Structure 1
C-alpha cells in the first residue's frame, strides 16, 4: 500500500507543478474564455462536473448540466443562479441513446449551438480477467457510456462548432491511459477509444479552430472510487473534486491538446520504447493491488 500511496503522491505533485506553471504563464482568465458562451457538461450533478459547472457559471458561461439525477442537477442550477450565473438542467440517462438524442436535439433547439462540450460522465469497473470470462456485458456497458455516448454528443455538437469555426471538446480520461490500469481493462479500453477518436478528429479539423482536449486525470476523491478498498486507503494523495473541477477550467482557459502529469507522459514513452519492461512494472502493481 505504501508503494501505491507514494506513486499517487508523485503523480499528483507532477500534475500540480504542470498546472501551476500554466497558470503563471497565461494571459487570460476563465471569464475571458467563457463569458457569453455555452458550455455543456455531462456528469454535472456531483464531483468534478459539479465543481466545474459552478466555476463556469460564476465566470459568465451559460452552463448546460447533464446527468441522470434531476434533483441533484436542480440543486446545482440553484447554486449557480444564486451567484448570478446562468444554468439549465437537462436530466438524461446517457446510456439510453434515444433519450440522449432527444436531449441533444432539445439543447440545439434551445441554444442553437454549444461552444464547449465536456465529456465528463463515466463508468469505472475493477474486475480482473479471471473474473470476467462470463461477464462480456461489463465491457458492453462500460463502452456504451464512456465511449459511444460521448461519440453521439460529439457528432451532435461538432457540426455547429465547425460551421462557426470555434469550439472545444474536452474528454475526461484516466492517467491509466498513459500509465496502465491492470484490473481495469474494460474502463481503460473505453477511455482509450475516446482518446484515439480525439487524435484522429483533431487531425481532420486542425485548421478549423476546433480543439480536442484530452485530460488524463489521476485518482480523484469521488463516488467512483468508493467500491475499491485499495484506492480508499490511498485517497490522501488523490485530487479533491475541487481540484479536479479546477483542472477542467484550466483546460478551457489554455485549450491544450493534452493535459497530463509529466510522470504519465514519461510512462507512455517508456511503454513505447520498452514495452516488456513496462508490462513487468504494471504486473507488479497489479499483484500489489490484489
Structure 2
C-alpha cells in the first residue's frame, strides 16, 4: 500500500470527502522558520493525529516531546524519526493516573529552555446509551479525566513556561461542541464541551499574557478512535494527515479557531431545526429499539 509523506498508509478520498475536507496548502518555509529550535509537546502521540503531527514536525530541527500510554507505539514513532533533524523525547504515561501526570509535569518543568507549543491531542471517545451506562459511572469519570481534567492540570502547570516563550496552545476539540448534542454520546460530548468552555473562558487572559490559543473543531477523522463505531465506516471522514497539516499551518498563522467550512451551516440548522432534528432522532431510536 502506498504511504503518505508522514508515514500513514494513504487512503484516497471519496468525492464527498474531497468536497467536505479540501486539501491543505502548507507553507513549509514559514513552518520551519516559526518552529526552528523550539520545543513542542504532543499528547496522544502514538497514533492518529498525534502520530502524524510527530512525523510532520519530525522533519524540522525541533525538540518533540511525545506522550502516550503505549510504550511500543511511542518507541516505534521515535525510531522512524531517529534519522531526521528533530530531537525526540518520549514519555510513556497514562495521564488519567495522577502520579503519572505529575511525573510528566516534572519532566516539562525541568526543560532547560521551557516549552513553546502544547498540542493537546489525547482524548477518549465513548458511544454508549444511557440504559447501558446505569452501572458504568466509571465511563464518565475516565472520559472526563482525559478530555477535561488532564489538559486543565497540564495548562495550570505549563502557563508560566508558555508565557515565558510567548508560546501557543493548540486544542483538539470537536464539531460536536458546537452542534446539537447527539444521543449515546453524553460522556464524550460533555467532557469535550467542558474543556472547550474552559479554554474559551481562559483565552482572553492567555492571549493577554502573550500565549496564542488555537482550537480545532474537528469533524470525523479516520483514526483508531472511530473504529469501534461500525456506522462510521460508511461516513465521510477527514484523513489524519490532512488534519496534521491544518494544525501545522496554525503554528505560523496563529489563527484562533479552525473548523470545516460547512460547520456554520450545521450550527444554524441546530438552532432553526432543533425540534425536527430531536423528533427525528427519537423516531430513529424507537425504530431501532423495536427491531432488536
Q: 1:227 to 1:288 in 2, by over 3 A?
A: farther
Q: 1:4 aligns to what?
A: none
Counterpart CA distance in 1 for 2:255 and 2:60 is: 20
Aligned length: 275
Contact map agreement 2:61 2:86 (CA 8 A) in 1: yes
User: Normalised by the size of structure 1, how large is the TM-score?
Assistant: 0.85
Q: Tell me, which stretches of 5 or more residues in structure 2 are unaligned?
A: 1-13
CA deviations 1:121-160 (Å, max 9, x no partner) are: 1110101222222222211110001110111111111112
Larger RCO: 1 or 2 (CA < 8 Å, sep 6+): 1
Counterpart CA distance in 1 for 2:239 and 2:38 is: 27
1:196 positional shift:
0.6
Q: 2:142 aligns to what?
A: 141
Q: Tell me, which stretches of 5 or more residues in structure 1 are unaligned?
A: 1-7
Q: 1:243 aligns to what?
A: 242
Q: 2:161 aligns to what?
A: 160
Q: Alignment partner of 1:16: what SS?
A: coil
Q: 2:266 aligns to what?
A: 267
1:242 positional shift:
1.5
Q: 1:230 aligns to what?
A: 231
User: Normalised by the size of structure 2, how large is the TM-score?
Assistant: 0.84
Counterpart CA distance in 2 for 1:172 and 1:104 is: 20
Counterpart CA distance in 2 for 1:129 and 1:11 is: 32
Alignment of 1:165-204 (within 5 A): 166-179=166-179, 180-204=181-205
Q: 1:258 aligns to what?
A: 257
Runs of 4+ in structure 1 over 3 Å off: 8-12, 269-290
Q: Alignment partner of 2:76: what SS?
A: helix
Counterpart CA distance in 1 for 2:250 and 2:176 is: 19
Coordinate RMSD, CA, aligned: 2.6
- Aligned mate of 2:22, from 16, 19, 38: 16
